[in-house]
Structure 1
Amino acid sequence: MDMESRQGNKSPSGMTHPNHRSSSKKKRARNCCLICLAVLILVGLLFLILGLTVFKAKKPVITVNSVVLRDLGVSFDITKLQVHLNVTLQADLSVRNPNRVGFKYDSTSASLQYKGQVIGDAPVPAGKIGSRETRPMNITLTVMADRLFSNSGLYSDVMSGGLPLTTYVKLSGVVRVLFKIHVKSSTTCDLYIDVLNRKLVNQTCHYKTNL
């Protein structure tokens, strides 16, 4: 009886019953899916760990190496209490990208300001800085004299012998690690020009970076 019962689970040709084969295939398919899922999770965790450690996005840094007074021309209109001013500054900057991937930044401009008023600017074209690369930038800023005519404080400042100016540069771009990370880096330099001796006598710079 036992032999007949065991033989009843086989087809006449002696092969395993189709139900057993179907069950075995389902188990293999389920195991393959579980293995694939585990591999995907491990790969995802690996990329996450690398993104938070080795490839973690770092802040690009703008450094002002020097600011040079290239030209200074001053003339007075005493009857109107106005000053005609021509100033040209050359700023030597460097941008360091500490990341293991490139930093791509948008086109922008550097500005020259007098007490918060923009009196000159220079374009900074878009570009890309490679992994752990430091790129120099030379920017020439010239005062647009017509923007100063309405400023009543300029006459008294120049007559006192000093001219306070501010340079401002901001770079906005993207660092792509596992996904795009937007980065903003800026620098502001407060300058003081000795008008009588025609030279730059003081320079203080401040740096700011946001991820």
Structure 2
Amino acid sequence: MAVSPPWPQPHHQPRSPSKTNLASCFVAAAFLILLISTVAIVFFILFRPRDPTISVSAVQLPGGFSGGNGTVSFTFSQYAAVRNPNRDAFSHYDSTLQLVYGGSQVGFMFIPAGEIGGGRTQYMAASFAVDKLPMAAGGGSVEMESKMRMKGRIRVLRFFTHPVETVKGCRVGVESRDGSVIGFRC
């Protein structure tokens, strides 16, 4: 006598190979998307290009300060340090230093193109002549503004470049009688 089980037996049908392959492709695609996203996030955190920083250490009017007929002429000098906080080199070009008085440009100089290595600081000195700057009668102090602009590109992982531009402006107080720098604020 044959005894039948008290519950019905399930019918096992083997999965078709196409469904198994499709599921494997979805799992592989999800893994690749997760891996690429992780690499992109790590790349962005570790190799994100940052703008260089400019710090002005001194401003001078070294000799040659002369006045007459309500105008003065002098030589303007500025000393600055440009720091590249990135891992790769910063190539700068089309960089300038200008001196502004009363809303108009009274002095200008191109900064020669160059390259600052990753994590390095380059010290720069720039001087140019300012001719016939109008001054108020009676002397006193005069306030001018210097603007240093560094423009260039930063290499990222030696293959990609990222354009950057950084500007540093300083207010310079000058005694109009003898050309001594009273102070500067950046």
Deviation digits for residues 62-101 of structure 1 (CA, Å, limit 9, x no counterpart): 0101112202433323xxxx42x21112211110011112
Q: Distance in 2 between matches of 1:101 and 1:140?
A: 29
In structure 2, the CA distance between the partners of 1:67 and 1:155, relative to structure 1 (3 Å rule), is: closer
Where does residue 182 of structure 2 map in the other structure? 201
The structural deviation recorded for 1:191 is: 0.7
Where do 1:119-198 residues align within 5 Å? 119-145=106-132, 148=133, 154-156=134-136, 159-177=138-156, 179-198=160-179
Q: Distance in 2 between matches of 1:74 and 1:190?
A: 21
In structure 2, the CA distance between the partners of 1:133 and 1:155, relative to structure 1 (3 Å rule), is: closer
In structure 2, the CA distance between the partners of 1:53 and 1:161, relative to structure 1 (3 Å rule), is: same
Which one of the candidate residues 44, 55, 78 is aligned to 2:47? 55
8 Å contact kept, 1:170–1:187: yes
Q: Distance in 1 between matches of 2:33 and 2:129?
A: 57
- In structure 2, give the amino acid aligned to 1:111: Q
In structure 2, the CA distance between the partners of 1:199 and 1:183, relative to structure 1 (3 Å rule), is: same
The structural deviation recorded for 1:43 is: 6.0
The structural deviation recorded for 1:58 is: 1.7
Whichever structure has more helix as a proportion of its residues is: 1
Where does residue 65 of structure 1 map in the other structure? 57
The structural deviation recorded for 1:186 is: 0.7
Gapped regions of structure 2 (runs ≥ 5) = 1-16
Higher relative contact order (CA 8 A, sep 6+): 2
Q: Distance in 2 between matches of 1:97 and 1:104?
A: 10
Q: Distance in 2 between matches of 1:41 and 1:129?
A: 37
The structural deviation recorded for 1:194 is: 1.0
The structural deviation recorded for 1:175 is: 2.1
Q: Distance in 1 between matches of 2:30 and 2:89?
A: 32
Where does residue 7 of structure 1 map in the other structure? none
TM-score when scaled to structure 2? 0.74
Same amino acid, percent of matched pairs: 26
Where does residue 78 of structure 2 map in the other structure? 91
**Does residue 88 of structure 2 align to residue 101 of structure 1?**
yes
Deviation digits for residues 135-177 of structure 1 (CA, Å, limit 9, x no counterpart): 11111132033xx4xxxxx332x53322222111111122233
8 Å contact kept, 2:74–2:129: yes
8 Å contact kept, 1:107–1:127: no
**Does residue 53 of structure 2 align to residue 74 of structure 1?**
no
Cα RMSD (Å) of the superposition? 2.8
Deviation digits for residues 79-136 of structure 1 (CA, Å, limit 9, x no counterpart): xxx42x2111221111001111221222222111112211111220122211111111
